Structure 1
Amino acid sequence: MKVTLAQVLAWRLRQQSLSPRTTASVEQLVGQLAGVQAQVASAAELALAIRQKEPHPRAVQEALVARSLVRTWAMRGTLHLLPADGAAAYLALLGAARTWEKPSWQRAFGLSPQQVSALGEAIDEILDGRVLTRQELIDAVLARPGLEGLGEQLASGWGTVLKPLAWTGRLCQGPPRGQNVTFTSPRSWVPGWRGVPDPDEAAPAVISAYLAAHGPATPATFDAWLLRGATRKAVLRGWFESLVRSEDVTALARIKPSQEVRLLAGFDQYVLGPGTSDTRLIAAARRTAVSRSGGWISPVVVHEGRVAGVWEFTEETVDVTLFAEHGAVPTAGLEAEAAQLARCTGSERRLVVRVG
């Protein structure tokens, strides 16, 4: 069966509750999107609110407090919101790559696999039933014999040496304490936590969730989204061999191309799922406008399923820059999206549109 690119993009818009919008909760949406990048918390909140007919401004924070969502290091080593009842499956696939055992990782971050193992055992004990700030956690680790020399690595804002502990189910974020991030153990924090499963058992659920939101996709595209291609190819092939999503075929064949306009948040899953290098979604010459320095992913204008421009908030405006080569984008659609952003943020801003 052949489908057009326009049909694929329209199907993704529907699968991700962008067209039409949804009455689903933030927990349901996070599961539907196969996680939501939350390196910038406000971007994650807006990405979810944009998809809702009636956005609730504190929904994400309430879900984190209720422990129905978990914030932890996940795909590509970045912070994500994950559904509490499905987080362990994602972590299993990330941990399967054992990136911390590779010589290049050890040279870059200064820890041996044995030190990572010892650090994990210490974290298990330190965080059992406790919620600690980063500094409190560092102080507790450095007080352990044999771990006194890890202060610099643990203090890194990127948290690189803590990511293997997240992926092996030993650590996740707890509720903020003022301006401070906190950490705790999933064993005592996540309701019904049963540990990180075997990757082969977890793979069908995670890959199905990814394909349901971002498919059709190749194993390589999935692995680029998961961990920038770090999974061993034989393992990846094994995960995909027995997986078929036949239920999507009929829906893809029937869907009509989208004419919708959407203003999406920075770091939106619609862009991150296939990746910014996908020229069917983002014109090659415009990639740097979307994927900027420092790992920043711009808020984007989507029209007919493709990225048609970028936008940003100022104090008084929604400032839109359309890509000239894309062609005309309906003004009425942009105005409706500015109104949706006002509903999401509680702040009305004037729409300003330019072509660049």
Structure 2
Amino acid sequence: MTVLTTRALNRATLDRQFLLARSDAPVHDAVAHLCGMQAQQPQEPFVGLWSRLRSFKPAALDDLLTGREVVRTHLMRRTVHLVTAEDALAWRARHDAMLRQRVLATYRRELAGVDPEEVAAAGRAVMADGQPRTMAELVQALGDRWPAPPPRVLGELLVAALIPVAQLPPRGLWRTKAGVRNAPLSSWLGREIAPSAPADSDPAGQALVRRYLAAYGPAATADLRAWCGLAGLPAAVKAVREELITFRDERGRELLDIPDAPRPHPDTPVPVRFLPAFDNAILGYRDRSRIIDDAHLGLSVAGERVVLVDGRVSATWTVKDNLLVITPLRPFSAADRTTVTEEGQALATFLTDRDNDGVRIEASTH
């Protein structure tokens, strides 16, 4: 079986994530190809799309959100994701059990004695009018019946697990600060959520396998599970396995992939790329060594924005006042400093749309 080096996997990931070369794909198609974008911090998808799409305009994503063609909702890993309306409706039922299990496990003590089905029925009754509500408003409507759980816990159970909801604009619009208002997903999108498949069939799971590999492969089944949070996909993998090809990585893991998916040469040059917080190009794997060193893994879950140099996480970045500040994780060569500064200046211009104080590269942390 062919062994793919870490560098080969890096190039494949970057290509499929539109980070090797910016894509001309429309924003809707890019979000669909990426299987959604992690979006608990509302402004981060704009940076993720700017780094991936040629001539990206924030208004294009705003129009998709207000036009109900993309939506913010809890999905993979119980995290808020920006996904297409079609994927939200097709995938939500498949994630239902995982979402419930994760919330109930996290707040086992606080929710002791609470019947989730009763809470779900009461919550659906309150939201039946389709009117948007904040989590606090929803909890207030139910608090008399369930006074024991802390309001935050009861609210998270409702909107992150029991009731499929969309987080409505202006939340998630460009340069807009807005609280979370929730509405039932089906009423917001005007279409019903696809029902759960019979036990002996898993079309949604099979679609997830194919779509994940197209955007993240070659990858192991453990990577797939880490990305979506679903434990029950072995049957789906088995059902599509004959469509796939296999490799091994340098650690000996079996990797699955789509036969005609791109796998660039390991020495393919890679431009500097700036990634937003919690980007799935990093978080979408159990083994993240293809893109980030083990010593820096904590950055990927701490919400640090990172810079890719030669395809690997090599710095963090942030904006302080009107200045884009880059902190290298290793010493930069003169060429690195030039290319990082150039791409950083382009990002600073995108973020401010006006004159800015430019880019500062601080001393390496190592």
TMscore range, shorter length: 0.7 to 0.9
Distance in 1 between residues matched to 2:262 and 2:40, nearest whole Å = 32
Aligned counterpart for 1:339 among listed residues 320, 329, 345: 345
Q: Bigger CA drift: 207-216 or 336-345?
A: 336-345
Corresponding position: 1:173 with 2:183: no
- Aligned residue type for 1:149: P
**SS at the partner of 1:212?**
helix
Matches within 5 A, 1:286-297: 286-288=296-298, 290-291=299-300, 295-297=301-303
User: Is 1:149 paired with 2:147?
Assistant: yes
Q: Report the Cα distance in structure 2 between the residues aligned to 1:222 and 1:22, rounded to whole angstroms.
A: 24
Q: TM-score, length-normalised on structure 2?
A: 0.81
Q: Aligned-pair distance for 1:141?
A: 2.6
Q: 185-194 vs 320-329, which deviates more?
A: 320-329
Opposite residue 59 of structure 1, the aligned amino acid is A
- Residues in 2 aligned to 1:214 and 1:16: alpha-carbon distance in whole angstroms: 7
When structure 1 is superposed on structure 2, of 28-37 and 123-132 the one drifting more is 123-132
Match of 2:269 in 1: 258
Q: What TM-score, normalized by structure 1, do the two folds share? A: 0.83
Give the deviation of 1:224 after TM superposition: 1.6
Distance change (3 Å), C-alpha of 1:272 and 1:134: same
Do 1:263 and 1:302's aligned partners in 2 also have CA atoms closer than 8 Å? yes
The question of whether the paired residues in 2 share the 8 Å contact of 1:6 and 1:258 is answered with no
Give aligned pairs, total: 338
1:323 match: 329
1:237 aligns with 2:226: no
Q: Given the superposition, is the C-alpha separation of residues 127 and 301 from structure 1 closer, same or farther in structure 2, using an over 3 Å criterion?
A: same
Take 1:329 and 1:281, find their aligned partners in 2: how far apart are those partners?
20
Which residue in 2 is equivalent to 1:355? 364
Aligned counterparts of 2:180 and 2:99: Cα–Cα separation in 1: 26
Counterpart residue number, 1:19: 20
When residues 343 and 245 of structure 1 are mapped into structure 2, their CA distance, relative to the original with a 3 A threshold, is: farther
Tell me if structure 2 keeps the 8 A contact 1:308–1:323.
Answer: yes
Aligned-pair identity (%): 25
Which residue of the other structure, out of 284, 295, 301, is the alignment partner of 1:285? 295
On the 8 A contact 1:100/1:106 being kept in 2, the answer is no
Shift of 1:328: 7.1
Q: Greater share of helix residues, 1 or 2?
A: 1
Q: Once the 2 structures are TM-superposed, how far is the Cα of residue 262 of structure 1 from its aligned partner? A: 0.9
Please say if residues 312 and 320 of structure 1, whose CA atoms lie closer than 8 Å, have aligned partners that are also in contact: yes
1:302 maps to amino acid: L
Aligned equivalents of 1:337, 1:55: Cα separation in 2: 15
Q: Look up the match of 2:309.
A: 303
* Aligned twin of 1:127: 127
Contact 1:7/1:252, CA 8 A, preserved across alignment:
no
Match of 2:56 in 1: 55
For structure 1, the 5+ residue unaligned runs are: none
In structure 2, list runs of 5 or more residues that go unmatched: 172-176, 246-256
Tell me the residue number matched to 2:254.
Answer: none
Paired with 1:117 and 1:350, the residues of 2 have a C-alpha distance of 54
Alignment of 1:108-127 (within 5 A): 108-112=109-113, 115-127=115-127
Distance 2:212 2:335 in 1: 29
Over the aligned positions, Cα root-mean-square deviation in angstroms equals 2.9
